[in-house]
């Protein structure tokens, strides 16, 4: 079953300018971790806004959980969807971290006696349990992103959309949040994730990669398939993950590496043989 289906989606902010999203079609199957990559201005963030119903008046069709996204369906759809944006300041409502996580739960009429254990679980998962009684304003950018993510995870969404949600985290923090998300997906094989990111290493770990350029979808496939197109990716200002760059650099220098060497660990063993 497809959780997201997008057909021929087109949108422009201004009739006189070229389309920010231009005839895009793709689908995201249930239980998959899909990454969407592209350079600044490629249309990724516009696509995120379209999917979350923040922009209406588009052409084409978006279907999420089997329902077409429209004014009268978006609230129903959002109940099962968690959104985390790049700048968490735009998302805070509570005066403490605890209130902020509780806000979403209150909206879903979770009973107050059930709330504390949920808040404890998710704040400790993202490493922010010690900060529950602090004011979000006094947190660093990366800590705010952790809180925003905890708030979304606490609501047990069936679909998570990240729009550059870990851009302010340090590499270890970034990996932690990715591990948490991958673990949640492993615990709940129905959890679907669409992550809009610049982090090619995250794309390398995902199930499926979509690549956007100038509003169009230009490549899609498994990480192995997509990152084999290094020249094409470079021409649209995207890097390859470290593994692919190194493999290519070795190939260019006349070292022959068999195709079955497709992970960093295998490459280490191969080079040390």
Partner 1 sequence: MPIEFSRLSFVYNPKSPFQSSALNDISLLLPEKQFIAIVGRTGSGKSTLIQQINALLSPTSGYVQIGDFINHPEKKPKRPKGLNDEEKAAFKKEERRIYQKHKSKDIKALRKRVGLVFQFPEYQLFEETVEKDVAFGPKNFGVKKEDAIRSAHEALLRVGLDESFFQRSPFELSGGEKRKVAIAGILATSPEILIVDEPTAGLDPAAAKETMELFTKIRDAGTTVILVTHDMDLVATYAQMVVVMENGRVEKTCAPSELFGQDLTQYSLQNPRIFDFALRLKQKGLTIDTEGIRSVNDLAEAIIRSKQNG
Alpha helices (runs of H) in 65-192, residue ranges in sequence order: 74-78, 97-107, 112-125, 141-153, 171-187
255 burial type by CB count under 10 A (0-12 exposed, 13-18 middle, 19+ buried): exposed
| Binding mask of the shown chain, residues 110 to 129, with x at each position contacting partner 1 by CB under 8 A | --------------------
If you write DSSP's letter for every residue of 35-49 in order, what string do you get? EEE--TTSSHHHHHH
Residues of span 28-87 touching partner 1 by CB under 8 A: 38-41, 45, 86-87
Decide whether 64 or 165 has the Cβ nearer to partner 1: 165
Q: Where are the beta strands (DSSP E) in 165-262?
A: 192-197, 208-213, 216-221
Q: How far is the CB of 7 from partner 1 (least distance, A)?
A: 26
In the range 210-269, which residues lie near partner 1 by CB under 8 A?
Answer: 237-239, 242, 245-246, 249-250, 252-253, 255, 264, 268-269
Tally of CB atoms within 10 A around 73: 15
CB of 22 to partner 1, least distance (A): 16
- Residues 6 or more apart whose Cβ sits within 8 Å of residue 123: 97, 98, 101, 129, 131, 132, 147, 150
Closest distance to partner 1 from the beta carbon of 156 (Å): 26
Nearer to partner 1, 30 or 239 (CB): 239
Per-residue binding string, partner 1, 4-33, x by CB under 8 A, is ------------------------------
158 binds partner 1 (CB under 8 A): no
DSSP state of 89: G
Residues 6+ apart with CB under 8 A from 34: 28, 192, 193, 194, 195, 206, 207, 208, 209, 210
Segment near partner 1 (CB under 8 A), from 1-9, 114-122, 132-140, 147-155?
132-140
The nearer residue to partner 1, 173 or 221, going by C-beta atoms, is 173
Residue 131 tokens read as 């900060």
Residue whose CB is less far from partner 1, 136 or 157? 136
Q: How far apart are CA 6 and CA 47, in angstroms?
A: 10
Residue 62: strand pairing partners: 6
Least distance in angstroms from the C-beta of 75 to partner 1 = 28
Q: Which of 56, 67, 79, 141 binds partner 1 (CB under 8 A)?
A: 141
Of 91, 135, 220, 230, which lies in the binding site for partner 1, with binding defined by CB under 8 A?
135
User: Which residue in the block uniquely carries the two structure tokens 């349990």?
Assistant: 129
Name the residue nearer to partner 1 (CB basis): 6 or 200: 200
Q: Which is nearer to partner 1, 23 or 142 (CB)?
A: 142
Task: Give the β-pairing of 192-197 and 159-163.
Answer: parallel
Which residue, among 34, 247, 272, has the nearest Cα to 161 in the 3D structure? 34
| Position 171 contacts partner 1 (CB under 8 A) | yes
Distance CA 132, CA 120 (A): 9
- Contact footprint for partner 1 (CB under 8 A): 38-41, 45, 86-87, 133-135, 138-143, 146, 164, 167-173, 198, 200, 237-239, 242, 245-246, 249-250, 252-253, 255, 264, 268-269, 271-272
């Amino acid at each position: 079953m497809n959780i997201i289906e997008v057909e021929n989606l087109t949108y422009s902010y201004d009739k006189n300018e070229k389309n920010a999203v231009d005839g895009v079609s793709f689908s995201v199957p249930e239980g998959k971790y899909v990454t969407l990559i592209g350079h600044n201005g490629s249309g990724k963030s516009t696509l995120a806004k379209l999917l979350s119903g923040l922009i209406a008046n588009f052409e084409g069709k978006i279907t999420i959980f089997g329902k077409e996204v429209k004014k009268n369906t978006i609230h129903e759809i959002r109940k099962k969807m968690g959104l985390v944006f790049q700048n968490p300041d735009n998302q805070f409502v509570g005066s403490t971290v605890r209130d902020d996580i509780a806000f979403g739960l209150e909206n879903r009429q979770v009973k107050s006696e059930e709330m504390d254990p949920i808040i404890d679980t998710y704040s400790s998962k993202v490493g922010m349990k010690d900060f529950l009684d602090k004011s979000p304003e006094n947190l660093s950018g990366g800590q705010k992103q952790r809180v925003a993510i905890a708030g979304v995870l606490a609501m047990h969404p069936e679909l998570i959309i990240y729009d550059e949600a870990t851009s302010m985290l340090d590499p270890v923090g970034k990996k932690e949040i990715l591990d948490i998300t991958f673990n949640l997906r492993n615990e709940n094989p129905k959890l679907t994730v669409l992550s809009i990111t610049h982090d090619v290493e995250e794309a390398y770990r995902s199930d499926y990669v979509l690549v956007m350029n100038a509003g169009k979808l230009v490549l899609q496939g498994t990480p192995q398939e997509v990152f084999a197109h290094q020249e094409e990716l470079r021409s649209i200002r995207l890097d390859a993950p470290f593994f692919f760059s190194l493999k290519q650099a070795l190939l260019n220098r006349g070292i022959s590496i068999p195709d079955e060497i497709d992970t960093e660990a295998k490459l280490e063993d191969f080079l040390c043989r």
